[in-house]
Amino acid sequence: MRRDIEFRTEDGVTLRGWHFPAKGVDGPAPTVIMAHGFTATREIFLDDFAEVFAEAGLGVIVYDHRGFGVSDGEPRSHADPWAQIDGYRDAITWAQSQPEVDAERIGIWGSSYSGGHVLVVAAIDRRVKCVVSQVPLTYGLETARRLIRGDMWTGLRAAFEGDRAARMAGDPGAKMPVTAPEGQPSALPTADTYEFFMGFQEARETNWKNEVTLRSIEMFTEYEPATYVSRIAPTPLLLVVASGDHLTPFDLTARAYEEALEPKKLLVLPGGHFDAYTDEPFRISSAEQRDWFVKHL
């Protein structure tokens, strides 16, 4: 039975989530730390993955990033990749202090935006003994250039500059929708993004809000997790990609995988970016991810 947890980051922000105890384990258990992608919150399918891992004897800690869901943090709806990376590292520190956790057997899991984060964390934090990165952002600027029409960039850059000036003058900063119907401005302008988030809101109760700071989008374009990939080894890396992904494009993730050193494994799923969370791709992927963590933790 999962329980609610909370812990404080090094700079004093309270992050909240769930702990799923490892089934059939007496004493400290190998533990996987999980957080979601760009603006997403814990209840958007992370519990499904956590339950699969827990059934295999892995403890799981799932939490919301600062400024999202049930976690504290201001400004709200602000996705700072480096603050989120620090959140993972603070989660590791907290987990290692818990009696249910084997401090020497910590794995990390991330998907989409946080799939990029775990590549960085695994490269710089040797407390991580195993990593799974699902449909990750790898090259921020190149991905953004595929999502945003070329004739829109001049106006977007001007908006970034205007937002900086406004924040300097004391304004809280602009926000925009994460997703919107086709043709309307949004941070992630793909039809499958809109279908995924709107469909989930109808199907389940969620703390997700359809808003993100403009500064978050600027930071997205400056974020390059792939530059860290060659430094992950000797930590084992499972990289999960979707063959039809156009939000975090398959070819960019495959390019990043080529930069990784052994031990590594590439799992290619059918479908698009969001199919990785549901139905047959989920069944395939969650089993492979479970086995990877069990093997290496």
Mean pLDDT, the chain cut into blocks of 10 residues (297 residues total): 96 98 96 98 97 98 98 98 98 98 98 98 98 98 95 95 97 96 93 94 84 98 98 98 97 98 98 95 97 98
The answer to whether 110 and 215 are in contact (CB under 8 A) is: no
- Give the span between the Cα atoms of 122 and 107, in whole angstroms: 9
Strand 237-242 and strand 212-213: pairing? unpaired
- Give the span between the Cα atoms of 100 and 59, in whole angstroms: 8
Q: What is the pLDDT of residue 191?
A: 95
Domain that holds residue 257: 3-143+224-296
Q: What is the pLDDT of residue 205?
A: 78
The predicted model scores a pTM of: 0.97
Whether 185 maps to a domain, the answer reads no
Q: What is the pLDDT of residue 203?
A: 72
Among the listed residues 61, 57, 60, the one whose alpha carbon sits nearest the alpha carbon of residue 23: 57
Q: How far is CA 8 from the centre of its chain?
A: 19
Whether 103 maps to a domain, the answer reads yes
Number of domains in the chain: 1
Whether 206 maps to a domain, the answer reads no
> Rg (Cα) of the chain, in Å, rounded?
18
The answer to whether 211 and 108 are in contact (CB under 8 A) is: no
Whether 279 maps to a domain, the answer reads yes
Whether 151 maps to a domain, the answer reads no
Whether 154 maps to a domain, the answer reads no
Q: What is the pLDDT of residue 201?
A: 78
Whether 167 maps to a domain, the answer reads no
- What is the DSSP code (8-state) at residue 4? E
Whether 67 maps to a domain, the answer reads yes
CATH number of 86's domain: 3.40.50.1820
- CA angle at 240 for the pair 219 and 203, rounded to the nearest 5°: 75
Task: Taking each helix axis as running N to C, give the angle between helix 81-96 and helix 113-124, from 0 to 180 degrees, rounded to the nearest 10.
Answer: 60
